[in-house]
Amino acid sequence: MEVSEEAIAKKQAQLDKLTMEIEQLEQRKNTQLKRERSQAYKERTRRLIQMGAITEKYLGTSDTAELEKWLKEYVAKNR
């Protein structure tokens, strides 16, 4: 059974189309993953800023060394 060149060309065109669709889907997946990572990073940054502001408000200090010392002592006492 011999396959015609026309049939081969048709199958090759289908294969090329599927390959292109796979590449597009992979690009969309990567774009979505980047978007999700970026959103998670922004949310974490916002949380850290809020926690820092609350800590500064109630502890009355913006000195990071002093804050770290106070937190170490607090954790050591409350474990």
Does the pLDDT at position 10 exceed 70? yes
Backbone angles phi, psi at 54, to 5 degrees: -65, -45
CA angle 48–51–59, rounded 5-degree value: 140
pLDDT band at residue 40 under the 50/70/90 scheme:
very high
Q: How far apart are CA 31 and CA 27, in angstroms?
A: 6
Is the full-model pTM beyond 0.85?
no
Share of the chain above pLDDT 70, in %: 99
